[in-house]
């Protein structure tokens, strides 16, 4: 059982601003269903003053993920975009009076969703997947060097374990621990001009692929299928076999297997790994 303080419990048991804004001016999302938590943040913004007049959230996640998201909405309502932008995950943790150290990543998810929403409001397009992929340090949880360096800086982190608690990076296969150590040293100035961690393509394990595959589904594959009234569900990953099930129009479409082999599989190979094979599982 986690040792949540009374304020965290209160924000989990009676979350403020849970729900949807029907016609939001900005939406930001962070996290992933596969990794066990996801946050969707919706903002209403006064165009003249750039004041956030309303904020609501939806969270799939644990107690501290819900509490962090709710706290964040209270913190930003009434602030201008410029003020909100300065909020770090540490501010969320401080607002809540502390989180168990293993749960710090929940506060980081809040900060990331806020950043995504502000970027969207300003018309900044999200980092292209291919670009983001080149900066990934932890492949298990899809965490980039910039994300790691930011939490190290904002929270004055010193160990790989800290970084794992704050970003999940390093919590899977552990093969990125050396890179994380380098990044910590770089931020802390202990190694002037340390070479930046470089993403090297190597054989991914199941869990390493999970997040990248999900992201590719969300950003590259689903939008196209949905345009045709279909959808696709990721069932499992067995080695290099990606098992999927088709939904909606796709499930009865004669050309569905063609779509899988000619469109979905190449996308996965392009964005995740050239060895992937897609297979359809009938419900």
Give residues in contact with other proteins (CB under 8 A): 1-2, 4, 12-13, 15, 18-19, 29, 33-40, 57-63, 65-66, 102, 141, 164, 168, 171-172, 207, 210, 233-236, 243
Nearer to other proteins, 146 or 281 (CB): 281
176 in active site: no
Nearer to other proteins, 101 or 146 (CB): 101
Per annotation, catalytic residue among 35, 138, 140, 176: 35
Per annotation, catalytic residue among 62, 106, 250, 253: 106
- Min. distance of Cβ 86 from other proteins in angstroms? 26
- Min. distance of Cβ 149 from other proteins in angstroms? 20
Nearer to other proteins, 65 or 71 (CB): 65
- Min. distance of Cβ 60 from other proteins in angstroms? 5
106 in active site: yes
Nearer to other proteins, 123 or 283 (CB): 283
Cβ atoms of residues 59 and 37 within 8 Å:
yes
- Min. distance of Cβ 78 from other proteins in angstroms? 22
* Active site residues per annotation: 35, 106
């Amino acid at each position: 059982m986690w040792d949540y303080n009374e304020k965290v419990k209160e924000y989990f048991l009676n979350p403020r601003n849970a729900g949807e804004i029907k016609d939001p001016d900005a939406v930001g999302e962070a996290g992933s269903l596969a990794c066990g938590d996801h946050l969707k943040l919706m903002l209403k913004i006064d165009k003249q003053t750039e004041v956030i007049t309303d904020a609501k959230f939806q969270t799939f996640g644990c107690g501290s993920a819900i509490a962090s998201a709710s706290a964040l909405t209270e913190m930003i309502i009434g602030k201008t975009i410029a003020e909100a932008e300065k909020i770090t995950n540490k501010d969320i943790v401080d607002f809540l009076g502390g989180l168990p150290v293993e749960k710090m990543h929940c506060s980081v998810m809040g900060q990331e969703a806020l950043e995504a929403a502000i970027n969207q409001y300003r018309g900044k397009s999200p980092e292209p997947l291919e670009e983001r992929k080149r900066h990934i340090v932890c492949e298990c949880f899809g965490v980039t060097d910039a994300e790691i360096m930011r939490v190290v800086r904002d929270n004055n982190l010193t160990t790989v374990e800290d970084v794992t608690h704050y970003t999940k990076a390093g919590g899977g296969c552990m093969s990125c621990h050396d890179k994380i150590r380098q990044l910590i040293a770089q931020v802390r100035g202990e190694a002037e001009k340390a070479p930046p961690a470089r993403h090297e393509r190597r054989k991914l394990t199941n869990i390493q692929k999970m997040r990248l595959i999900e992201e590719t589904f969300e950003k590259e594959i689903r939008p196209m299928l949905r345009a045709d009234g279909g959808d696709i569900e990721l069932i499992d990953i067995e080695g290099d076999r990606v098992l999927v099930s088709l939904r909606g129009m796709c499930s009865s479409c004669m050309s569905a297997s063609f779509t899988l082999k000619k469109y979905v599989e190449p996308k996965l190979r392009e964005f995740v790994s050239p060895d992937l094979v897609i297979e359809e599982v009938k419900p």
